[in-house]
Amino acid sequence: MKNDELIWFLFDFDDVITSGYRKGNKNVYTFIEILTIRKNEKLTFQESCHKLGLHPDTMAQLYAESALPNLKIRPILRLFSLWKRIGKPYRCGIASNNSDYLIYHWLKFHKLENPFSRIFTPEKFNWVRKPDREYFTKCIESLNVNPEQIIFYDDDSTSVDIAGKMGINAYLYHRFDHFQEIDQYIKKDLHVRR
């Protein structure tokens, strides 16, 4: 039975939760090579690192140092942590083609309280990736909600287009966007508290 009350906010990771890489970072090409091996050979991040003779913990540390948090989204993530604690019907998750290992390491490195109730990556879906329709079908099924109960942000227009066609409220994220849709829920929540 579907939970008709929950609203899920799903965010892509790179360039949505993070704000991109520090300029001039020499490790970016190594990350791209690792992630390309991971994608093409369906290996974990750790296996891809070992294939290049690199230590995964070191690479995850370098990644976390170079991929900075999106300052606009930080207060929103704090709000999700609060909502989660007090039982509000809003949940927050990540829908990314990135690696669980990198995402968890990144959160720990930046000392961010983890507001993410779910993290969806290709490893969890038998290597199905965005923008494949099956990826979004698996997200919907895993969350056990109707597609219209999901609000999804991604910086990839193809992923946004496909998710939207499946009934998900999908928005193309632009770096300076203010997440107006989340603001609506914040205002509604503040209004109910008064």
Overall pTM > 0.85: yes
Greater pLDDT, 141 or 73: 141
pLDDT band at 76 (very low <50, low <70, confident <90, very high): confident
DSSP state of 98: S
How far is it, in rounded angstroms, from Cα 18 to Cα 68?
5
Give mean pLDDT, residues 59-87: 86
Contacts of 35 by beta carbon, 8 Å cutoff, 6+ apart: 45, 48, 98, 99
Q: What is 7-19+69-193's CATH number?
A: 3.40.50.1000
Mean residue pLDDT of the chain comes to: 88
Q: What does the H/E/C string look like for 92-142?
A: EEEECCCCHHHHHHHHHHCCCCCCEEEEECHHHHCCCCCCCHHHHHHHHHH
